[in-house]
Chain A
């Protein structure tokens, strides 16, 4: 299925500086699996933060649908 992946902050380096890409991912895959498709293993990124689908935070193992916009954030610390 086709989805959009947006990267924020320092994570854009995984898209060579681009912020957004349309990608083909397995049907009904999880956010984690979708990121793996584009070479992003969140467990190996020390400052990986969280993911949102269609501008709503989800858990990394939540499943995606056709046309979803998946956003990945680095950790942002502070107050």
Chain B
């Protein structure tokens, strides 16, 4: 049967020829991969040739919504933006908040596929079925915030604007795509892919709607789900505190990294914790169709940002040896404007600090230097001075200068701010994540650290743990439901899919989608030459024991890591080299 919730239409834009066509959505693929993350990866698996240069016109940038986008389903406002990653060479699906997903759906599209490249800097204007290619020469070189404000002034604040900053324009492989000023498709150099197409922005407004079955009755049911499920304290803490709530918990949990992951905890954390930051809160915000409103607007004397999130606080705070809350907020503000991923940019500068202090290579910055920390962001975005080196990221800097013993990345994507020596399963989660070290694929601390009775410092059971968490998130992000709906269950996902599409979905089908999405992502990477040798643990975690905090004395023996990897491959059905067998590949 035809599923509702979808527009059954894809907008395909040829930037080289400056043309646009529409085609039906592959509903046969949607049956198996739903939308957003899963469907985007399936499209890219089918349409990209192996071995292409991610910064060439051969790469494609996919903006993919889900069947629930633009419906009353809460927490459904995120947009998947996907491509082959220039940072890692793997598949890379990002998730951006804000309102652009709804505008795309209301314009009548499930997805927008951007192919080829413009010859001159430009931006796309999409108003329902009207697609225009506009000149962006006057915006090129400008920060993302100025670009977005200029376009909003020109077209109206009821348009959604996706943009890149100088980092994306200069093909920095830690460049992000921004929307609503402070929301990002952050990791893996997705902004550099957009920059390689000389596309400064996408301006979009949709005036249509989304069809769902029995709209009156089903909206009532969905509203009841919002009240009974979403709006309970397991989820609503994110409204009160944002992700600043994670700081104290991670510090006590022994997983808050300090000084380039050389140790954990920070006795100064109370100088920049949630209580301090939220004193400067001047407003709140949520994404389209949210219900939880995690966004906090903070205003210091010289810094304003929506945020900062835990990752940005930790990377620019204790992991940089900095304890000044205003400097941390300013870091976030500048990174957003320059269009840089805070995790990768911060980690790279932190690595450079250690290289400088150890005398391996002088990058001119040491731990705690909050002035240069902020200056270096713009230099990285523009590849100027020391920024030309730092823009390379941790992996390439290691290849150029050394420092592998304390270089924390997987496949070239820098480590998020959860120290795995305090949460062993997280080392596995980072290693097998489809896009390099990502904390959003399988969030192990939730089960290992923020839980009263599960031991974090063991390899036992971690393969199954990471598999179960990974399957769940894979289908959740294919629906596309926001991570912060923490109490979402397989049963609920099936119920929502049935309400929105009009087709009966079961819990088992939801799980099957999750497994299928993990496999299609791995298949993409396998075709690019990735296998077990690339599912790695950084040397620091194996060789150096933590000195402080709850996990003092912990390091992860290589054999324990290999054991966790073996467990994972077994439970997911891959061979000992991490390769998908033919009997699974042929079903994808």
Contacts and interface: CB of A to CB of B under 8 A. Distances in A.
B261 interface: no
B452 A48 contact: yes
Interface string A19-59: 00000000000000000000000100011111110011111
Nearest to A77: B486
B385 to A, nearest CB: 34
A9 interface: yes
Instruction: Among B440, B450, B452, B550, find the residue whose CB has the most chain A CB atoms closer than 10 A.
Output: B452
13 contacts: A9-B241, A46-B234, A49-B450, A50-B452, A51-B452, A57-B449, A58-B550, A73-B450, A76-B237, A76-B246, A76-B249, A78-B238, A78-B246
Contacts of A52: 252-253, 550
Nearest to A55: B252
B451 A75 contact: yes
Given A50-B451, A50-B452, A74 B253 contact: no
B295 to A, nearest CB: 14
Interface of A: 8-10, 42, 46-52, 55-61, 71, 73-79
Contacts of A57: 252-254, 449, 550
B252 A76 contact: no
Contacts of B237: 9-10, 74, 76
A43 to B, nearest CB: 9
Nearest to A52: B252
B234 A42 contact: no
B550 A77 contact: no
Contacts of A61: 453
Given A49-B450, A78-B238, 5 more contacts: A8-B249, A10-B233, A49-B451, A75-B486, A77-B484
B24 interface: no
Contacts of B550: 52, 56-58
Contact of A56 (B254, B439, B455): B254
A71 to B, nearest CB: 6
Nearest to A56: B550
Given A46-B234, A55-B265, A73-B249, A78 B451 contact: no
Interface of B: 233-235, 237-238, 241, 243, 245-246, 248-249, 251-254, 265, 416, 439-440, 443, 446, 449-453, 455, 483-484, 486, 549-550
Contacts of A75: 234, 446, 450-451, 486
Nearest 9 pairs between A and B by C-beta? A77-B486, A52-B252, A10-B233, A57-B550, A60-B452, A56-B550, A79-B440, A49-B450, A47-B234
Contact of A77 (B234, B254, B416, B449): B234
A5 to B, nearest CB: 14
Given A8-B248, A10-B233, A10-B237, A79 B439 contact: yes
Nearest to B485: A77
A53 B238 CA distance: 25
Given A47-B233, A50-B253, A79 B449 contact: no
Nearest to A42: B452
A48 B454 CA distance: 13
A46 to B, nearest CB: 7
B93 to A, nearest CB: 14
A42 B252 CA distance: 18
A42 B249 CA distance: 17
A79 B450 CA distance: 12
Given A56-B254, A57-B253, A57-B550, A78 B452 contact: no
Contacts of B254: 56-57
A50 B587 CA distance: 41
A59 B456 CA distance: 10
A47 B251 CA distance: 20
A56 B245 CA distance: 16
Contacts of A46: 234
Contacts of B251: 55
A59 to B, nearest CB: 6
Given A49-B249, A73-B450, A59 B455 contact: yes
